[in-house]
Amino acid sequence: MKTLIVIDVQNDFIPGGSLSVPNGDKIVPIINSIQDKFDLVVASQDWHPQNHISFASNHNGKKTFEAIEVLGKSQTLWPDHCVQGTVGSEFHPDLKTDSWETIFRKGTDPNIDSYSAFYDNGHLKSTGLTGYLKEKGATQLFFCGLAADICVYYSVKDAIQEGFECFFIEDASQPLDAATFKIQKKELLKLGVKMISFKET
């Protein structure tokens, strides 16, 4: 089954949002145009409590984009973003959501971040996405959304590990840091991920 996974196309990641991804708004019409090509469409949504560990505002004397250690791993400190129930956490108003079967919320635990739509950053807790997709009979996963180098990248890596065939729709995603994404692309290609254009979906 051909499945589209729309990652975190939320207001705070759109230009003008608190953690804006350059050209993040440009992918919205592209994602809208391809949804009807899939048997199943699901989405992830960053959904942080206000006291989230990844917010620089919750660490005295720390600035945004500094790093701290959480569970032995480096954690970037972000501006407050996608706080539960805020306008910033909502999906872009022009994004079509009618065909979405369900939404998986992530980053809900205040003590650990969750870039991937499948697991938190420590791989301690699953969101349930793997089990859901396998029960539905999904085999081919097509990823798009924001940001390409963070939440989309980590979601694809987890999906590969879970045994899915993965496609990364490049022009339906945008990175926060283009240089980082260039390196990540090479890694994903080695793992067997297919990089495609939205026209190839």
Say which of 151, 157, 158, 166 is annotated catalytic.
151
Residue 71: pLDDT over 90: no
Q: How far apart are CA 30 and CA 173, in angstroms?
A: 9
- Per the annotation, the verdict on 151 as an active-site residue is yes
Hey, what CATH topology would domain 2-47+92-200 get? Rossmann fold (3.40.50)
Per-residue confidence (pLDDT) for residue 73, from 0 to 100: 87
The helix (H) or strand (E) run that includes residue 105 is strand 102-106
Reported confidence tier of residue 135, pLDDT bands at 50, 70, 90? very high
Taking the CA atoms of 62, 48, 50 and 146 in sequence, report the sign of the dihedral they define. positive
Has 186 been annotated as catalytic?
Answer: no
The reported pTM is 0.96
User: Catalytic: which of 82, 106, 113, 157?
Assistant: 106
The confidence score (pLDDT) of residue 50 equals 97
Is 73 an annotated catalytic residue?
Answer: no
Please report, for the chain, the start and end positions of each structural domain, with discontinuous segments joined by +: 2-47+92-200
Q: In the structure encoding, which two tokens stand for residue 50, read together? A: 């206000």
> Which pLDDT belongs to residue 175?
97
Cα→Cα distances 61→48, 68, 77, Å: 21, 12, 12
